[in-house]
Amino acid sequence: MQAPGRDFKATEVSCNNTDTAVSFSLDISKAYPDSAYVKTWKRSFTYRRGKQIEINDRYTLDKALKPTRWTFMSYPEPVLKKPGTIEFKGNSKVLVYSEKLFNVTIEPLTLTDGKLSAEWGNTLYRILLTRKSKTKSETCTFIIK
């Protein structure tokens, strides 16, 4: 997990905005405590206007104690229709990931805060993409289209 506090922040933040795309990148390795063994972690987002969002993570760990996990949150209910693609009920968007690399868990989370429920409904969903095996270094891409 990322650690709280001023000392745990992203570095090397950059943004580029063109007529066809917006890209944002940062180094999030300093956002984790030493106990996470994160050596490098570069994350980039590219929004290809009107088409899709690409999320790219490139990381190296000093140790891989357990499989790495990515968390996505959603208020439309996610549905695993086929390996590699998560659809969202009532929405034409999909989350695309490598079915060869990841196991998927979808957890409903009941909202108890009235202000949040008014905006998001009674339930949010946590999508967990967990690496099938431990690895100390790789590049992963997720696409929302």
Q: Nearest-CA neighbor of 10 among 34, 55, 40? A: 40
What's the pLDDT score for residue 56? 98
Domains of the chain: 1-63 (2.20.25), 64-145 (no CATH)
End-to-end CA distance of the chain: 27
Beta strands 52-61 and 102-110: pairing type? unpaired
What residue type is assigned to position 40 of the chain? Answer: T
Phi–psi pair at 38, nearest 5 degrees: -85, 120
Q: Mean pLDDT for each 10-residue chunk of the chain (145 residues)?
A: 76 96 96 92 97 97 96 95 94 95 97 89 95 96 97
Q: Give the Å distances, CA to CA, from 92 to 32, 49, 87, 108, 124.
A: 34, 16, 8, 20, 18
What's the pLDDT score for residue 116? 86
What's the pLDDT score for residue 120? 87
Q: What is the C-alpha separation between 135 and 45, in angstroms, rounded?
A: 22
What's the pLDDT score for residue 18? 97
Name the region of 5 (left: φ>0; alpha: ψ -120 to 50; beta: rest).
left
What's the pLDDT score for residue 45? 97
What's the pLDDT score for residue 2? 65
